[in-house]
């Protein structure tokens, strides 16, 4: 009996040991797979997507799960889903460990450039540059330098981008990072008009081939094609692009594909092959939801207008020239937003320097006071102690009153339900912003939106469900706005958005983003399947002057036009009633 018991115990120990060994091996295998996926994330994005599909996140350790989420966000960005990628990177920025947090911040800065959030990107970039010397990890330092290069190239600050590229080349031993730095350096030189030869591009292409970085290699090839176009070598550009377009399509990297088709459309147009120019321009427009690359969209409309004119289709040419003008205006508005972001960053830096100078003076004053204290008599020390006690009591009293004041100010300025500005405070803020835009000769736009058939929700499901729907819709609209846009509740289910430094084309673009965000928002927290839409009206300073009442009246009038046209749409106010832009 005893021998039988010992045999059972031995078998149990063997099973337990095998189970533990399997668990450890499974964990080590998952870590190995994720590290491999991390190494190939830019060279083989399609393989990265395949690997991520094979992994079950809830079986991973905390560090592996954070790396999995980072790679998932990276994969989303490579697929052109920038908004989804940003949300995941922002989550990792708050909750992940130091290494993944730094990598997520670096990716966020690049993503913000991709979606035109220049102010947010610059704020993070300035903050991380200030703490760059404290970063110990060589890999993290190189990733951050790469981020600086990309962001400044997007911003049009090519000298800064080239300077950081040189810094990266000076310290990195990583073949991929060398390839990346050379590619971005070539781009900044090409865009700033510096002297280049074909051999510069050929050398960089060979380095990227050695690093097995196909996307970066195809990127440099596109720069070489642009170099050919600038030098009127159109046949060379066409041959180069056509020979490599299949490789680009294999990467499924939407922005790169858009850039190739844009260069092909330009080259064929200049070469006189209007059929192929039109074919490539149409591909850009058909896939614009995937790549969202505004420059390629603008070029596509320009090429289609020119080819239509060359072929004698003047009605089509007029239509495409009109679309080209609107697309170009969106690009110009984006450029204005970049300049405003740079000005704000410079102002913030100057303000910070002034604060540092003030703190230095305060420290000097404290040192002087300490010297006087050491030389003072006992009675002076007692008097100083008493004075200090009174001062502390005064500070505490002031602090308490200040907190009460700020709390009361918040209640007085904020709509309790939605958290945006109430009508009174919104009007004050709007008037201040309008005066500033008028003084600095910047455009300003005003949006009014109203939730469609909102009373039906309250009547059918009750006011609590209506309140939840209202908060969800407003939060969705706020996410679609820029950071410096002013949002307020005008009353009931009606809201206003003031957009400083924003012309009518960009305002229409932002309003359409808000409309889609409200329509696609998740209202399941209300406990019901709700379909919520909103109607939008827009007015801007070009047709309503720099006057809040006139902007309000124009936007309100356009809002009623939107409702009359069937709701769930954006209408731009014009002085002539027959020419509303939808």
pLDDT digits (tens, 9 = 90+) for 521-566: 999 998 999 999 999 999 999 999 999 999 999 999 999 999 999 9
Among 10-19, 137-146, 447-456, 513-522, the range scoring the smallest mean pLDDT is: 10-19
14 — pLDDT class (breaks 50, 70, 90): very low
What distance in Å separates the CA atoms of residue 43 and residue 258, rounded to the nearest whole number? 19
What distance in Å separates the CA atoms of residue 2 and residue 8, rounded to the nearest whole number? 10
94 — pLDDT class (breaks 50, 70, 90): confident
Show which of 358, 389, 413 is a domain's final residue: 413
Task: Look at residue 99 and tell me if it is in a domain.
Answer: no
Mean pLDDT, residues 493-498: 96
Domain count, the chain: 2
Per the model's pLDDT, the better-predicted residue between 125 and 540 turns out to be 540
What distance in Å separates the CA atoms of residue 44 and residue 229, rounded to the nearest whole number? 29
pLDDT at 88 over 80: yes
Show which of 380, 413, 446 is a domain's final residue: 413
pLDDT at 20 over 50: no
pLDDT at 165 over 80: yes
Based on the fold, state whether residues 390 and 432 are members of the same structural domain.
no
Domain ranges, residue 344: 336-413
pTM above 0.75, yes or no: no
Based on the fold, state whether residues 400 and 513 are members of the same structural domain.
no
pLDDT at 5 over 80: no
Query: Taking Cα atoms as reference points, which of 352, 351, 302 lies closest to residue 327?
Result: 302
Q: What's the pLDDT tens digit per position in 291-321? A: 677 889 999 999 999 999 988 998 988 999 9
Q: What pLDDT was estimated at residue 561?
A: 95
The backbone torsions φ and ψ at residue 441, rounded to the nearest 5 degrees and listed phi first, read 55, 50
Based on the fold, state whether residues 434 and 547 are members of the same structural domain.
yes
CATH code of the domain containing 432: 3.30.70.270
Mean pLDDT, residues 480-484: 93
If you ran DSSP here, which 8-state letter would residue 443 be given?
Answer: -
Mean pLDDT, residues 144-155: 86
Per the model's pLDDT, the better-predicted residue between 554 and 3 turns out to be 554
pLDDT at 339 over 80: no
Mean pLDDT, residues 208-219: 88
Say what angle helices 504-520 and 463-480 make with each other, to 10 degrees: 140
pLDDT at 21 over 70: no
Task: Look at residue 113 and tell me if it is in a domain.
Answer: no
What distance in Å separates the CA atoms of residue 263 and residue 561, rounded to the nearest whole number? 41
Q: What pLDDT was estimated at residue 580?
A: 45
Query: Cβ neighbours of residue 247 under 8 Å, at least 6 residues apart?
Result: 214, 218
Query: Cβ neighbours of residue 387 under 8 Å, at least 6 residues apart?
Result: none
Mean pLDDT, residues 511-524: 95
Based on the fold, state whether residues 371 and 473 are members of the same structural domain.
no
Q: What pLDDT was estimated at residue 16?
A: 43
Query: Taking Cα atoms as reference points, which of 436, 449, 412 lies closest to residue 563?
Result: 449
Q: What pLDDT was estimated at residue 449?
A: 97
The backbone torsions φ and ψ at residue 72, rounded to the nearest 5 degrees and listed phi first, read -65, -45
pLDDT at 15 over 50: no
Based on the fold, state whether residues 443 and 565 are members of the same structural domain.
yes
Q: What pLDDT was estimated at residue 130?
A: 77
Among 151-160, 486-495, 570-579, the range scoring the smallest mean pLDDT is: 570-579
Task: Look at residue 406 and tell me if it is in a domain.
Answer: yes
Q: Please report which residue ranges of 96-233 form alpha helices under DSSP H.
A: 98-115, 118-130, 138-155, 158-171, 175-191, 198-210, 214-230
pLDDT at 225 over 80: yes
pLDDT at 377 over 60: no
Based on the fold, state whether residues 428 and 545 are members of the same structural domain.
yes
What distance in Å separates the CA atoms of residue 356 and residue 353, rounded to the nearest whole number? 5
Among 182-191, 340-349, 358-367, the range scoring the smallest mean pLDDT is: 340-349
Based on the fold, state whether residues 532 and 556 are members of the same structural domain.
yes
Structure tokens at 238: 């066409």
How far from each other are the two terminal CA atoms of the chain, in whole angstroms?
A: 89
Show which of 413, 442, 471 is a domain's final residue: 413
Per the model's pLDDT, the better-predicted residue between 344 and 121 turns out to be 121
What distance in Å separates the CA atoms of residue 570 and residue 575, rounded to the nearest whole number? 16
Task: Look at residue 381 and tell me if it is in a domain.
Answer: yes
What distance in Å separates the CA atoms of residue 195 and residue 227, rounded to the nearest whole number? 11
Q: What pLDDT was estimated at residue 579?
A: 45
Task: Look at residue 303 and tell me if it is in a domain.
Answer: no
pLDDT at 323 over 70: yes
Based on the fold, state whether residues 396 and 523 are members of the same structural domain.
no
Q: What pLDDT was estimated at residue 370?
A: 63
What distance in Å separates the CA atoms of residue 572 and residue 557, rounded to the nearest whole number? 10
Based on the fold, state whether residues 491 and 386 are members of the same structural domain.
no
423 — pLDDT class (breaks 50, 70, 90): very high
Task: Look at residue 97 and tell me if it is in a domain.
Answer: no
Q: What pLDDT was estimated at residue 298?
A: 93
154 — pLDDT class (breaks 50, 70, 90): confident
pLDDT at 17 over 50: no
455 — pLDDT class (breaks 50, 70, 90): very high
Based on the fold, state whether residues 391 and 495 are members of the same structural domain.
no
Instruction: Return the percentage of the chain with pLDDT > 70, whole number.
Output: 84
Q: Count how many residues are written for the chain.
A: 582
Mean pLDDT, residues 429-454: 95
Q: What pLDDT was estimated at residue 115?
A: 75
Based on the fold, state whether residues 400 and 527 are members of the same structural domain.
no
Q: What's the pLDDT tens digit per position in 27-43? A: 568 888 888 888 888 77
Q: What pLDDT was estimated at residue 80?
A: 73
Based on the fold, state whether residues 487 and 573 are members of the same structural domain.
yes
Task: Look at residue 479 and tell me if it is in a domain.
Answer: yes
Average pLDDT for the chain: 84
Q: What pLDDT was estimated at residue 401?
A: 58
Task: Look at residue 520 and tell me if it is in a domain.
Answer: yes
493 — pLDDT class (breaks 50, 70, 90): very high
Query: Taking Cα atoms as reference points, which of 183, 161, 41 lies closest to residue 103?
Result: 41
Mean pLDDT, residues 251-263: 87
């Amino acid at each position: 009996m005893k021998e039988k018991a010992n045999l059972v115990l031995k078998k149990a120990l063997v099973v337990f040991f095998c189970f533990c060994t399997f668990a450890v091996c499974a964990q080590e295998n998952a870590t190995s797979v994720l590290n491999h996926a991390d190494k190939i994330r830019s060279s083989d994005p399609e393989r990265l997507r395949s690997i991520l599909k094979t992994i079950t996140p809830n079986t991973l350790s905390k560090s592996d799960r954070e790396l999995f989420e980072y790679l998932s966000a990276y994969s989303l960005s490579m697929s052109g889903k920038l908004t989804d990628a940003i949300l995941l990177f922002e989550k990792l920025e708050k909750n992940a460990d130091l290494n993944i947090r730094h990598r997520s911040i670096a990716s966020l800065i690049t993503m913000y450039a991709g979606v035109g959030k220049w102010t947010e990107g610059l704020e993070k970039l300035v903050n991380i540059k200030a703490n760059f010397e404290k970063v110990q990890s060589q890999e993290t330092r190189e990733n951050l330098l790469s981020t600086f290069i990309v962001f400044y190239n997007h911003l049009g600050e090519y000298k800064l981008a080239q300077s950081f590229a040189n810094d990266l080349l000076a310290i990195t031993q990583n073949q991929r990072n060398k390839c990346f730095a050379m590619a971005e350096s070539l781009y900044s030189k090409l865009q700033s008009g510096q002297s280049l030869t074909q051999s510069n591009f050929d050398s960089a292409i060979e380095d990227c081939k050695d690093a097995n970085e196909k996307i970066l290699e195809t990127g440099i090839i596109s720069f070489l094609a642009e170099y050919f176009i600038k030098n009127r070598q159109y046949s060379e550009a066409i041959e180069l692009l056509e020979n490599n377009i299949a490789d680009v399509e294999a990467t499924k990297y939407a922005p790169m594909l858009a850039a190739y088709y844009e260069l092909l459309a330009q080259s064929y147009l200049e070469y006189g092959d209007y059929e192929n120019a039109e074919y490539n321009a149409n591909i850009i427009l058909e896939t614009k939801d995937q790549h969202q690359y505004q420059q390629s969209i603008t070029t596509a409309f320009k090429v289609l207008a020119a080819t239509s004119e060359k072929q004698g289709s003047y009605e089509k040419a007029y239509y495409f020239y009109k679309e080209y003008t609107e697309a170009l205006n969106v690009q110009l508005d984006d450029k204005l937003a970049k300049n405003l972001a740079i000005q704000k960053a410079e102002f913030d830096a100057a303000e910070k320097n002034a604060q540092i100078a003030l703190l230095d003076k305060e420290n000097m004053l404290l040192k002087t006071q300490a010297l006087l204290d050491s030389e003072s008599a006992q009675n002076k020390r007692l008097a100083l102690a008493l004075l200090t006690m009174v001062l502390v009591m005064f500070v505490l009293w002031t602090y308490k009153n200040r907190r009460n004041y700020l709390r009361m100010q918040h209640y007085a300025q904020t709509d309790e339900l939605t958290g945006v500005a109430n009508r009174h405070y919104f009007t004050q803020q709007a008037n201040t912003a309008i005066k500033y835009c008028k003084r600095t000769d910047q455009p300003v736009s005003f949006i009014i939106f109203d939730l469609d058939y909102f009373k039906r929700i309250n009547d059918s499901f009750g006011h609590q469900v209506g309140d939840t729907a209202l908060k969800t819709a407003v939060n969705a609209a706020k996410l679609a706005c820029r950071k410096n846009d002013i949002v307020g509740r005008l009353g009931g289910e009606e809201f206003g958005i003031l957009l400083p430094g924003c012309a009518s084309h960009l305002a229409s673009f932002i309003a359409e983003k808000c409309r889609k965000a409200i329509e696609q928002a998740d209202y399941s927290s209300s406990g019901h399947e709700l379909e919520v839409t909103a109607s939008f009206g827009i007015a801007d300073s070009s047709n309503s002057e720099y006057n809040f009442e006139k902007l309000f009246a124009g936007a309100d009038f356009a809002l009623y036009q939107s409702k009359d046209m069937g709701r769930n749409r954006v209408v731009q106010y014009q002085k002539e009633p027959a020419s509303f832009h939808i």
